[in-house]
Structure 1
């Protein structure tokens, strides 16, 4: 199973709605497939233009390491050398913090990741999780 474009667009829409309902700063949301390829991206009005790279970096680390952003952050705190080396191996594309959300299908298989940025990392994760769950997939934050 793969994340469809229709699902990706709905994930983004719900993440934006969740952010707005909770009074979050303007968000940017990226959806990647299981290979780390871009499926969809949108930046809210008022969001900084550099947010694409941050959202992608949060999601990219999830897909490439197979763990969520919060687990990546814990790993970075415990083994900074490993995360630095992984970041180098991935060409600096990974940002190991919450807001990077691993997406699993009903069998538990990783089918992609969502990266959200614009507010606190924890709030970013909340918005992304809402979008993922809205399309019936499992969010690992």
Structure 2
């Protein structure tokens, strides 16, 4: 399968994320897939997910793209430098959510293709569902942890 991240592949990724959430029995999720420039390609919300979930998912993905790190590294940095992240959120109108559940998407050579953000359950469960979907469609995940 091609390493390209187009709208069809983005929609498959978002749908697979929500499907894995249902299979695992986690709370209803929303998944936002953005291209490398931060533009939305796909945004899906489980019909039972709360109305803020799409915005939170998008903020997780945007934060990763804007800073160049997966959500786990963003969370560590936000904890270490809260004033800096307050300033970033002031600059972006609150569009950066530095927690797990935001994952950079890469091809086999490590090139950045975009990001996915997931929201609805715990950050760990959000990330878990996305990782299963990323593996399923043949992309590489960068969670901000070495093993991610």
Same fold judged by TM-score > 0.5?
yes
Q: Which residue of 1 aligns with 2:61?
A: 59
Q: How far has the Cα of 1:90 moved from its partner?
A: 2.1
What are the residue-to-residue correspondences of 1:24-103 with 2, within 5 Å? 24-103=26-105
Q: How far has the Cα of 1:91 moved from its partner?
A: 2.4
Q: Distance in 1 between matches of 2:68 and 2:39?
A: 15
Task: Say if 1:2 and 1:112, in contact at 8 Å, map to a contact too.
Answer: no
1:129 aligned onto 2:131: yes
Task: Say if 1:2 and 1:34, in contact at 8 Å, map to a contact too.
Answer: no
Q: Distance in 2 between matches of 1:49 and 1:76?
A: 25
Q: Distance in 2 between matches of 1:36 and 1:16?
A: 21
Q: How far has the Cα of 1:2 moved from its partner?
A: 4.2
After the TM superposition, which parts of structure 1 deviate over 6 Å for at least 4 consecutive aligned residues? none
TM-score (norm 2): 0.90
In structure 1, stretches of 5+ residues that fail to align are none
Task: Say if 1:31 and 1:113, in contact at 8 Å, map to a contact too.
Answer: yes
Q: Which residue of 2 aligns with 1:104?
A: 106
TM-score (norm 1): 0.95
Q: Distance in 1 between matches of 2:17 and 2:106?
A: 17
Mean CA deviation greater in 76-85 or 53-62: 76-85
Picking from 19, 22, 25, the partner of 2:21 is 19
Q: Which residue of 1 aligns with 2:146?
A: none
Q: Distance in 2 between matches of 1:2 and 1:139?
A: 14
Q: How far has the Cα of 1:74 moved from its partner?
A: 0.3
Q: How far has the Cα of 1:9 moved from its partner?
A: 1.3
Q: Which residue of 2 aligns with 1:119?
A: 121
Number of aligned residue pairs: 141
In structure 2, stretches of 5+ residues that fail to align are 144-148
